């Protein structure tokens, strides 16, 4: 329904450490994203959060960073 442009990685860690490790959690999430293209996986893992939270991307604005990406 949302697609890769409207989703991002997140967890309830460290509460989840009661039943799993962070590595296992990330691995399961990565398995769920395997069918996406590399560009779509990057959106979910990084780019959507960088855009939403307006995180500086190496001196460039987030908007400039999105423009230069090959999506």
Q: How confident is the model at residue 58 (pLDDT cuts 50, 70, 90)?
A: low
At residue 59, the pLDDT reads 57
| 25 neighbors 16 (Cβ within 8 angstroms) | yes
Of 1, 6, 2, which Cα lies nearest the Cα of 43? 6
pLDDT, tens only, 6-48: 999 998 988 988 999 999 999 999 999 999 999 999 999 999 9
Q: What is d(CA 55, CA 51) in angstroms, rounded to the nearest whole number?
A: 7
Residue 1 DSSP label? -
Structure tokens at 44: 């979910």
Degrees to nearest 5, angle at CA 29 with 44 and 2 = 45
């Amino acid at each position: 329904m949302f697609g890769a442009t409207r989703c991002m990685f997140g967890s309830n860690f460290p509460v989840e450490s009661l039943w799993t490790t962070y590595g296992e959690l990330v691995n399961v999430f990565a398995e769920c994203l395997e069918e996406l293209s590399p560009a779509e996986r990057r959106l979910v893992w990084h780019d959507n959060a960088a855009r939403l939270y307006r995180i500086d991307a190496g001196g460039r604005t987030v908007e400039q960073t999105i423009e230069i990406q090959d999506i």
